[in-house]
Amino acid sequence: MSAPPRLFDRALRRKRLDRAAPGFTDADFLQRRAALDLVERLEAIMRDFPVAVDLSAHRGAFREALSESDATRRLGLLVEADLSAAMLAGRGGPRLVADEERLPFAPASLDLAVTTFGLHWTNDVVGALIQIRQALKPDGLLLAAFLGGATLTELRQALTQAEDELWGGAGSRVSPFADSADAAGLLQRAGFALPVADVDRVNVSYEHPLKLFADLRQMGETNALADRHPRALTRGLIARASEIYAERFAGPDGRVPATFEIVTLTGWAPHESQQQPLRPGSAKMRLADALGTTEHPLPREE
């Protein structure tokens, strides 16, 4: 089997996170939103999770959201893991520097795995999900949030047009994101049971496109493509892209929108106690009887 394509430079991704760590909490509104959503989902599940891990923990948004929820009483040990040691620095609790592409957990050792905004930076999303499933105990739970395909569509369009105008061609400046329509399929391919995928589209308003650039830098979400554009961003390109951004997308108040698509996945490690789909033809009641109607056969074609 051939190896998946190398889309991202993981060493560069770590550097981006290290650089963002000191000021990350000034721009972590998306991760906080995603973490609150995951905790709300956890609140609806009436069971205990003795051993849990928060992958891509960054500065602890999930732990903080959990501390304000009744669900915290159902969790035992929560290990915070991150690719960046700088993101984990300066706070207590069990912490672990770990790469989502090479998880260090023993098989069937976790009851719960949570990840926010880490999966979309892995070179093999399905492979990362398989590792998580293998680390979960049977009937263990995965809650994951990552950025989907519509994310930063305005910025992508503005940069492409500006580059084409100034340099006669365009390259990759914004990372590719998974299509949200394929999200549940990723869980199925990784062997998870009862897969569910939801999409939360967030529109953030900015005074100027440069404010968006600044936020992306503080989030650690700037370009980490392995095959990066041979020409660095210049002031002229950024200025023209900002003009195009405002011309095409600014509202009546002059502010510009930025789209972020948060895809949330819920999946369970398989277990015999889980609901199973019925075999075709195994139904014990006709649909017409269940609906209380009369069944009319279709006319036969001559």
Query: Is 296 among the domain residues?
Result: no
State residue 177's pLDDT score.
80
Best CA proximity match to 110, nearest among 155, 150, 62, 52? 52
**pLDDT tens-digit map of 134-184:** 999 999 999 999 999 899 999 999 999 998 998 877 767 777 787 777 888
More confident residue, 132 or 283: 132
State residue 57's pLDDT score.
97
Confidence of residue 6 (pLDDT cuts 50, 70, 90): confident
Query: Is 181 among the domain residues?
Result: yes
Query: Is 285 among the domain residues?
Result: no
Query: Is 137 among the domain residues?
Result: yes
Q: State the DSSP code for 99.
A: B
Q: For residue 283, is pLDDT > 70? A: no
Burial environment of residue 171 by CB neighbours within 10 A (0 to 12, 13 to 18, 19 or more): middle
Residue 47 belongs to what domain range?
Answer: 10-151+176-207+258-272
Query: Is 217 among the domain residues?
Result: no
Over pLDDT 70: what percentage of the chain?
87
**pLDDT tens-digit map of 83-123:** 999 999 998 999 999 999 999 999 999 999 999 999 999 99
Q: For residue 236, is pLDDT > 80? A: yes
Average confidence score pLDDT of the chain: 90
Average pLDDT over residues 233-252: 94
State residue 290's pLDDT score.
61
**pLDDT tens-digit map of 11-28:** 999 999 999 999 999 999
CA distance 42 to 283: 33
Query: Is 263 among the domain residues?
Result: yes
* CATH code (residue 44): 3.40.50.150
Return the structure tokens found at 88: 């984990």
Average pLDDT over residues 34-51: 96
Query: Is 228 among the domain residues?
Result: no
Q: In terms of DSSP bridges, do strands 95-97 and 110-116 run parallel, antiparallel, or are they unpaired?
A: unpaired
Query: Is 44 among the domain residues?
Result: yes
> Would you tell me the crossing angle of helices 153-167 and 235-249 to the nearest 10 degrees?
130
Q: How many domains in the chain?
A: 1
